Amino acid sequence: MDCLFCKIGSGEVSSEIIYEDDSVKAFKDIKPSAPVHYLIIPKKHITSVVDLKESDSALMMQLILTAQRLAGEAGLLGYRLVFNVGREGGQVIDHLHLHLLGGWNDDNSLFGVRHPRLDK
């Protein structure tokens, strides 16, 4: 299957790896929308949240716990975890991925990237 994130998962396509184990990989988003923007993927191909099954429960928890740990390691006090689902939901890459977004400053202007919900 010609899937970019499968190739990033296997290492066939390079990425800025933040964390990896047998079943998940985290890497920097190539076009960050926040000062800290990581993507956390299962190495196994799952197209989207729509395709999740009960048997994926442990894997999904691993994605969330990986995000939790990496957020802590990045010193994020608060952050957003986002799954875009389907084209209408903004999903462009058809391999399940969890966005970890954070690092906005108190004045919401760190590196010039602004939090969409914190603008006054």
Q: Active-site positions?
A: 97
Cα end-to-end span (Å), the chain: 45
Closest CB 53 distance from ligand AMP, rounded Å: 20
| Nearest distance from C-beta of residue 40 to ligand AMP, angstroms | 12
Question: Reduced to 3 states, what is the DSSP secondary structure of residue 93?
Answer: coil
Q: Does 3 bind Zn ion (CB under 5 A)?
A: yes
- Of Zn ion, ligand AMP, none, which one does residue 6 interact with (CB within 5 to 8 Å by kind)? Zn ion
CA neighbor of 21 nearest in space, from 81, 56, 69, 53: 69
CA–CA dist 18, 15 (Å, integer): 9
> 85 touches which of ligand AMP, Zn ion, none (CB within 5 to 8 A by kind)?
none
Half-sphere exposure of 107 (CA within 13 A, CB side): 4
- Which residues lie near ligand AMP (CB under 6 A)? 15, 27, 29-31, 39, 84, 90-93
15-23, 30-38, 90-98, 109-117 -> range binding Zn ion (CB under 5 A) = 90-98
Give dist(CA 77, CA 74) in Å, integer: 9
Q: Whole-number minimum distance, CB 80 to ligand AMP, in Å?
A: 13
